[in-house]
Amino acid sequence: MKLTSISLVYKITAVFSFITLISLLVYLTYNTFILNDQQYQNTEKLLIKEFYYNAIRNDKLYPGGQDIFDANINPKLALLDSLDKHHSSELRDTISAILQNLDRELKLHNTMDSVFEQIKSTFQLGDEWEYALLLNRVRINLTDERKVDIYSPESIAAGDRNTIPAMNGLRIGGKLEKLRKQNLVSELNVSSTENFSYQVSFAIFADRKNRTIALLKLIAPVFLLGIFAIVTIIIIYLATYRNWIRQKRLADMKSDFVNSITHEFNTPIATIQVANKTLKSQQLVQENKPLEALTDVIQRQSSRLQRLFSQVLDITAMSGYALQKEPENITCLLREMADDYRLKMSDSQTRIEFIDLPQKDTIVTMNPFFFTTMISNLLENAVKHNHKTEKTIKIELIDTGNNWRIRLSDNGNGISDKELKLVFQKFYRSQSNTQTSLGLGLYYVRQCVIAHGWTIDIESVVEVGSSFIIDIPKNS
């Protein structure tokens, strides 16, 4: 997939993720606001309610309200009864006059202002608290069957969760502007079952000024923390994305560079080797021993350069290589590698031994090219780091149950505890190594093991030898 396509996918995913995070933050903030709104100042409202009940005990609306109702309604009961029976057309005008007088008297003699000041002082509520006192209904009970409403407000439209009928009454006192069910302190209904009595319903609301601002201040820390977290995630993402783009471009440049110079390196090396073989076959060179020795040097060094360059190319390709695996017999591959290496080392005192290699059922899915190159590197490493006259390499293939374990041991120099953790690093070369190398052999081995999903470990004793242990899952 091209870089532009991958970048587009990442951008779309990032935008979708950020929109999701912001939506989640808004949703949680809104629900937190609603929860706080429902529970806001519940304790204070309970205290106000208790004080208010005590203040209007055996009274109506506010202290002294009973007398005002009695004075305006009781003298009119007989008249209302007569008009209701015989002159219903005049009843409305009489009710209107009673309501006007009652409204004027209740507002004129309102004592709730002083009562609420006492409440604020007693419970130290502060000056930001306000109240609203509403008259919701005044109904005359003439008889069991006949009732006359002096005041009855229109009901609130259904479906609004934040409104209640008590909010639609006649305001008698208080400056609280926004009436909501969340700031309703109490709704009372005082009535009598006797004939020629009256029923009064009223409600009191109380709340702080700028309730919404106060609630927003409560949830502000959580909201700001969420915003900070999202901004931090965005910054980290942008930094990571920018770094990923840079690394991806560098990796692509490296891959393109390696691919472009592959032919450029192999061609001159191959040309040098062909020319050297031609030169070596000439009779003049064969008769001149020093010149023939020089051609041998050219052959060895060009071959070494070719091997080193191939190793670099293999490691570079493996970094993004999708392994093409196929079933292979490990026993056969190990024997073939050993036979090839014996021919290569026929002029040295190097002995390769097998210890009880299984002959059957050693099939594992792998990439045979990388596997054989890996084993070759381990064999070369065993010989390279062995200064003894007689070199011994032992190869074991052990069935551990779930795994096949390859154990390749030598009697070489060994590896110190300090270097054990470093030998698989790219370009690392042991301080005791007197041979020229790039330090890529064991790094290649580890990369091959990782690419297959296997594991590798080392056991080593200085001046005794080393063992490289590779565990291969049977179901890999």
Interval 168-179: pLDDT, tens:
889 999 999 888
Neighbour tally for 159: CB within 10 Å: 6
* pLDDT single digits (tens) 101-141: 999 999 999 999 999 999 999 988 888 889 999 999 999 99
Decide if pLDDT at 434 tops 60.
no
Q: Residues for the chain: how many in total? A: 476
**For the segment 189-213, what is each residue's pLDDT rounded down to a tens digit?**
988 878 888 999 999 999 888 777 8
At 393 the pLDDT is 92
- The reported pLDDT for the residue numbered 213 is 80
Structure tokens that stand for 412 in this block: 């070489």
Could you tell me how far CA 456 lies from the centroid of its own chain? 33
pLDDT at residue 158 in the model: 46
Give, in degrees to the nearest 5, the angle at Cα 111 between 110 and 115.
Answer: 140
Strands 184-190 and 197-208: antiparallel
pTM for this one?
Answer: 0.48
> What percent of the chain is predicted at pLDDT more than 70?
87
Q: How far is CA 101 from the centre of its chain?
A: 67
- Whether the per-residue pLDDT at 350 is higher than 70: the answer is yes
- Write the pLDDT tens digit of every residue in 352-407: 888 878 877 788 998 887 888 888 889 888 888 888 888 999 999 998 888 899 99
E strand map for 361-437: 363-366, 391-399, 403-410
Taking CA atoms, 22 is separated from 29, 228, 295, in Å, by: 10, 11, 73
**Distance between CA 90 and CA 29 in Å, rounded?**
57
Residues 6 or more apart whose CB falls under 8 angstroms from that of 92 comprise none
State the pLDDT at residue 292: 72
Q: Which residue has the higher pLDDT, 389 or 36?
A: 389
pLDDT above 70 for 438 = no
pLDDT higher than 80, residue 55: yes
Topology classification of domain 321-473? Heat Shock Protein 90 (3.30.565)
Mean residue pLDDT across the chain: 82
Encode pLDDT of 284-327 as tens digits.
666 777 777 777 777 777 776 776 666 566 655 555 455 678 89
Mean pLDDT, residues 396-423 taken together: 89
Q: HSE (CB half, 13 Å, CA atoms) of 464?
A: 6
Is residue 161's pLDDT more than 60?
A: no
* Per-residue confidence (pLDDT) for residue 276, from 0 to 100: 78
Using the predicted structure, report yes or no on whether residue 58 has a pLDDT greater than 90.
no
Q: Amino acid identity of 17?
A: S
pLDDT of residue 98: 92
For the chain, give the percent of residues with pLDDT over 90.
Answer: 24
What confidence tens digit (pLDDT) does each residue in 232-289 have?
Answer: 888 888 888 888 888 877 777 766 666 666 556 777 777 888 887 877 777 766 677 7
* Residue 207: Cβ within 10 Å count: 25
For residue 131, the SS3 value is: strand
pLDDT for the residue numbered 259? 60
Q: Would you state the pLDDT for residue 347?
A: 62
Predicted confidence (pLDDT) at residue 100 exceeds the cutoff of 50:
yes
When pLDDT is averaged across residues 450-475 and rounded to a whole number, the result is 91
pLDDT at 85: 83
Long-range CB contact pairs, 47-54, < 8 A, 24+: 47/119, 47/123, 48/119, 48/123, 48/131, 48/185, 48/204, 48/206, 49/185, 49/186, 51/115, 51/118, 51/119, 51/122, 51/123, 52/115, 52/119, 52/185, 52/186, 52/204, 53/186
| Angle, vertex CA 440, rays to CA 357 and CA 403, nearest 5 | 30
pLDDT of residue 152: 86
